Structure formats: C-alpha cells, structure tokens
Amino acid sequence: MEKEIINKGKVIQWYPGHMTKTKRLIEENIKLVDIVIELLDARAPYSTKNPDIDKLAKNKMRIVILNKADLADEKATKKWIEWYSAHNVKVVPIIATNGKGIKEVIQIAEDLLREKIERDKARGRIYRPIRAMIVGIPNVGKSTFINSLVGKSTAKTGDKPGVTRGKQWVKIRKGFELLDMPGILWPKFEDQNVARHLAYIGSINDNILDNREIAIGLLEQGLKEFKGALENRYKIELSEDGYEAFCAIGLKRGLIGAGGALDELRTAQIIIDEFRAGKWGRLTIELPDNV
C-alpha cells in the first residue's frame, strides 16, 4: 500500500509496499555478493542515494556510479567525484545509453577484489566468479547500464519508475556475475528538497503527482540557479516568479485550451519532459556544498 502523497503545500511522501519487500530482498541476498555497485543520477547525487544502502552494504566493497553524466554539469560532477573520493568511495561517471565509462566500472571492481580473488585461488577456488549486486532508486538507469554491460537487452528497461520487480542474476562475462535488484526508494522524505528533486528527475511515478506543481517548483529552482539557461531555451525573458514563468512559457508555446485559457497540463508536461531530456542544457540541481 502506498503512503499518502500530499502535493498541497508541496509536501511529498511516498513509499510503496514493494519497496519494503525490496529492502528485505537486499538484506537476504547481500551475503551472496562481493561488491555493491550503486547507481545515482549525476544531476542529483544526494537525493538519488538511498541511505538504507549504506547500512545494508556497510561490510562490502563499494562503487558509486554517476549515471546520465551527459545531462549533468561537468564542473558539478567533478565536485561530486571529489566529495565521494574524500569519503574513500570509488566513483565513476557514466552514460549508460552509449556505454561511456562502463568498462571502467568492471575494471575498478576487479581491482578492488584482486586480493580476495588471489586468496580464493590459494585456497583452490580457482573458478569462483566475482559477484556484484547492483542497486539504485527507480529510474536511475540500472537496466540500461546492465544492457550496456552485457551488450544485449537482458534487463527490462523503461522511462517509468518500477520496471524491475524481482531480483535476477546476469552473467556479464566469464568470471563476473551481477545481481540486479528492484529499485528501492527512500523510506521517508524528511527533507522535502529530496522529494522534489526525485520528482523533477522522474524517480517518483508521475501518475501519482501533480505535474503542474512539480513543473512550477522546478521552474522556481531553475530561475534561482540557472535562469539564463531557461531564457535561452524558451527565448523569452522570464519573471522570477515560478507561476508567472510557467504561464509565460505555455503562452509562448501556444498551449491554449478550450475557451482560450492556458492548457496547464500540457505546459507542465512539456516543462518537465524538456528538463529531463536535457533540453535546458547540462544542469545539476544539487551540489555537495549544500548537503
């Protein structure tokens, strides 16, 4: 059962029952793997990192992947890499859709486990493969990452959260196996900025949110942090007010509904879709300085 989502006052709370099952599934299977690979969205590395994973994988080798690096600001990504490196976490920025950076993930995993592999060989366990668990919240691109690794469509992919429902073992190559887990969202949103950021990038199902409020909230943040990019995209001078900017964009695009009124639903969908597709430019909506 889903917890109530309250959009009025911009409060977002969501934790479907299958997320609880996913957490239990990770707890039961983590003993089977040598290393945990966590996928984050490079545009929102803090909000897309589930704090439960730190607890569940505390005794395992770790790699953090910043996926969709082509949509994020390069300087911001560099700051996040430096931040994680300072916390002794291996970080790799990748673009799962074209495979950039993916080979480096496997190489780092093998390097981290080299001593363990040698110990196993010394004990006669010559053919034991490396087993990695891949985790991440919904819609960070796990399935696309796996398919790029394997070179064929093995994992189900989709642009909506919650495509992967159960665990599945995937053979990456000889000596390397991957355990794919369903996406696991935060247990609760104590920080509403986290909830909003997840809504902006599509990690919370759009069907249960008020897209109009999400679009206006996205514009409000954008007008503070990258107003120039917005004005360049929509070829219009925008007000500092989120709703006024929302209306101006809709009218500029000619999104007029019945009776000559602005079609707010279409306007909201276009604003959200264009941000997610990177049409505003390469933007990062949170920095390590602010977390």
Q: Could you give the residue ranges of the DSSP H alpha helices within 131-210? A: 142-150, 192-201
Helical (H) or strand (E) element with 36: strand 35-41
CB atoms within 10 A of CB 225: 14
Interacting residues of 11 by C-beta distance below 8 A, sequence separation 6+ = 192, 195
171 annotated ligand binder? no
155 annotated ligand binder? no
167 annotated ligand binder? no
159 annotated ligand binder? no
Interacting residues of 28 by C-beta distance below 8 A, sequence separation 6+ = none
139 annotated ligand binder? yes
* Backbone φ and ψ of 29, nearest 5°: -105, -10
Residue linked to tokens 């900017």: 245
The CA distance from 235 to 229, in Å, is: 10
The CA distance from 151 to 24, in Å, is: 30
DSSP state of 95: B
Helical (H) or strand (E) element with 107: helix 102-112
Interacting residues of 230 by C-beta distance below 8 A, sequence separation 6+ = 219, 222, 223, 238, 245, 280
140 annotated ligand binder? yes
Q: Quick check: 42 and 73 in contact, CB under 8 A?
A: no
148 annotated ligand binder? no
The CA distance from 169 to 180, in Å, is: 6
142 annotated ligand binder? yes
154 annotated ligand binder? no
141 annotated ligand binder? yes
Hey, which residues does 132 pair with through a beta bridge? 35, 178
Q: Would you call 176 helix, strand, or coil by DSSP?
A: strand
- Binding-site residues, in ranges, read 67-70, 139-144, 183
Annotated binding site for GTP: 67-70, 139-144, 183
